[in-house]
Amino acid sequence: MRLHEYQAKQVFADAGIPTPASQLAETVDEAVDAAEEIGYPVAIKAQVHVGGRGKAGGIKLVESKEEAREAAEDIIGMDLKGYHVSKVLVEEAVDFVNELYVGVTMDRGEGRPVAMVSTKGGVNIEEVAEEDPDAIAREHIDPAFGMHPFQARKVVYEAGVDREVANDVASVLTTLYQLWDDRDGADTEINPLMITSDDEVIAADAVMNIDGDALFRQPEIAEMGEEAAEGDELEQKADEYGFDYVRLDGNVGIIGNGAGLVMTTLDLVDYYGGEPANFLDVGGGAKADRIANALDMVFSDDNVDSVVFNIFGGITRGDEVANGINQALEQFDEIPKPVTVRLAGTNAEEGMEILNEDLVTVEHTLEDAVQRAVEYAKEVEA
């Protein structure tokens, strides 16, 4: 779960990491008032989870009240790569001489956290990692010990940070690691960490991704996460139902159980010439109600022309799935979109007997079911 910049900055500031003066605004007037109070120049920054916000017009630097109003009018309410901007952060523009990158993340290959520092901050760090991997100094942390003070110093010096600011940068990194550890961070990073001409160190951006599986023990963060929730109506609906759901651009709706099998179903839709409309995993052991909810979700996506169900029962039972499908479909006078069903595994035979074949098309293999659903989608298109 990812916090907004303004939320992450608050967490960082509370932990003692220096951040620029800033205020959150939801209207143009609020933004202008904030800019006047902070004093120019200020940056007006859209609060959405989009990479390359600046390039896309979501961050503007302004020097006067008029410019502040103009920028706030442009940004508040804008559509930034598909995300609606409802909040901006109005922030003191820092006059810097250097920009660093400082981050802590989980290295899944190594199974332990890694602290990273680079003097090439201010740009996309993933690009730096690819083009010039040596420009990022890395130090793996033993989770049994946590980060030793020497490790923070070591990675800062290895990165080639100026000696004048090295201690302050190491101190920021130490705090960042502590936050990562205490708050169940997935990634925490500051890019850029600005160095001013007076050798001050200031976090000009803040990224905090929290492990969604740990939210049960991070109530404060979970509350912030509710505020940070974004995504379209369908994605929010999926959250309510508790489905793993990703919306895609195609017209074949897909419902299945288990991430790997659902991904495979998407891939097969593509393989047989169709285009998947979504990823929807009902999870293990889904009962009839849950199946009906899944169908409701996919039906309410206007892009969907045809639906394929692919259930391989382990703990999920075919008869439960069939009952759910019947329940969901029997409430319609006319089935809104053709539904193809393939059941295998636990109680699949019983399930196929239960399914009302006036309402759905039943197929016996994965390949046949996907091809049938793709055909239906093409018929609707034509």
Which residues participate in the annotated binding site for ATP?
45, 52-54, 91, 94, 99
Judged by CB under 8 A, the chain residues 244 through 263 that form the site for another protein are 244, 246, 248, 256-263
Cis upstream peptide for 336 (omega within 30°): no
- Annotated binding-site residues read 45, 52-54, 91, 94, 99, 191, 205, 257, 314-316
- The question of whether 189 is a catalytic residue gets the answer yes
Q: Identify the residue among 10, 47, 118, 346 touching another protein (CB under 8 A).
A: 346
Interface with another protein includes 184 (CB under 8 A)? yes
Q: Identify the residue among 82, 133, 216, 382 touching another protein (CB under 8 A).
A: 216
Interface with another protein includes 269 (CB under 8 A)? yes
Interface with another protein includes 181 (CB under 8 A)? yes
Interface with another protein includes 135 (CB under 8 A)? no
Interface with another protein includes 133 (CB under 8 A)? no
Active-site position among 5, 83, 92, 101:
101
> How far out from the chain centre does Cα 59 lie?
20
Active-site position among 92, 189, 320, 363:
189
- The question of whether 131 is a catalytic residue gets the answer no
Closest separation in Å from C-beta 142 to another protein: 7
Q: How many residues bind another protein (CB under 8 A)?
A: 55
Judged by CB under 8 A, the chain residues 67 through 126 that form the site for another protein are 106, 108-109, 111-113, 126
Closest separation in Å from C-beta 316 to another protein: 8
Q: Identify the residue among 366, 369, 373, 374 touching another protein (CB under 8 A).
A: 366
Closest separation in Å from C-beta 220 to another protein: 16
- Annotated binding-site residues for substrate read 257, 314-316
What HEC string does the chain produce? CECCHHHHHHHHHHCCCCCCCEEEECCHHHHHHHHHHHCCCEEEEECCCCCCCCCCCCEEEECCHHHHHHHHHHHCCCEECCEECCCEEEEECCCEEEEEEEEEEEECCCCEEEEEEECCCCCCHHHHHHHCHHHEEEEECCCCCCCCHHHHHHHHHHCCCCHHHHHHHHHHHHHHHHHHHHCCEEEEEEEEEEEECCCCEEECCCEEEECHHHHHHCHHHHHHHHHHCCCCHHHHHHHHHCCEEEECCCCEEEEECCHHHHHHHHHHHHHCCCCECEEEECCCCCCHHHHHHHHHHHHCCCCCCEEEEEEEECCCCHHHHHHHHHHHHHCCCCCCCCEEEEEEECCHHHHHHHCCCCCCEEECCHHHHHHHHHHHHHHHHC
What mask, x for binding another protein by CB under 8 A, covers residues 140 to 179? --xxx-----------------------------------
Binding site for another protein (CB under 8 A): 51, 106, 108-109, 111-113, 126-127, 129-130, 142-144, 181, 184, 186, 211-214, 216-217, 244, 246, 248, 256-264, 266-271, 276, 279, 281, 284, 312-315, 344-346, 365-367
Q: Please give the positions annotated as active site.
A: 101, 189
